[in-house]
Chains A and B, each alone.
Chain A
């Protein structure tokens, strides 16, 4: 066989093997059918019941679980707003039709919030007076008016590099947005400090 062709086939095989390596990292919770367990391993998974239907962030074999959008909004008041947003789909392949949703949770942080303050969010439990939630078909982090509860149960430094620090964050959340009720939400993801614009 032509050596060039053999190398090409090997490279293709290697790439296919690498693509197949992306893992779903969905471990079902025995007490909440369709939802993932509450974990602190950086699985990049978010699940919640939306009007009683289990939803999860999408997965593809190339990139794994879809990552959240995370950022800070300068509100022009004494506090800024941090938001976390995911694309969500039903965690039930038996459904014949469904609509993708963007779930956004926001909460206030101090005006001069920096990457050094991130760890101070660990253990923070905010009720519906302080946290907000949005559920829309399109991503829009500027118009969040639903009420939410969020409890950040774990926030640690996952890896610390010369240029960037990676954090691992786990939380429980629920909320009401218009006629939609979000219950038993939980997430476990990793993010870079640079995602917040530092």
Chain B
């Protein structure tokens, strides 16, 4: 009985320490040191939150760079992947149909090699990135849909190259480009060019 009380007391002590004080201490430190990151790396446009830099969004419109296929259609409540095994017929079927859609959508040759991340669904369903190659394959379709001239096309290609993140600290992880940030940049290019034409 004495041991039981003792274990309840020490459990209570550790609950306060690791369950309340520890998270509060960490919250306090990071709200001072990294407030933007601690609050979700949110992106503001005209004082409205339009998303988080880290959380991918669904892009299927002809005027935007498409994001990766997602088992949850980029709805984070809750996050997750397809959990299909490689011998699951649904996976094979899904990859084949996504491939032909991607080719038609971007008006590519039938034998174009499509980067794997554009054919397979991500683990979180919220993957914000695609490869540089996957972005470049979509440029001509966007240029056509937005009626851009060849200078703007060059500007976009250059933008894709500039915005590609190299592996972190030279060799950690993969080369990648953030689709949401890229599309926001694309909208900016569209606005400036539009203003230029009017002027």
A binds B: no
Q: Chain A interface (Cβ within 8 Å of chain B)?
A: none
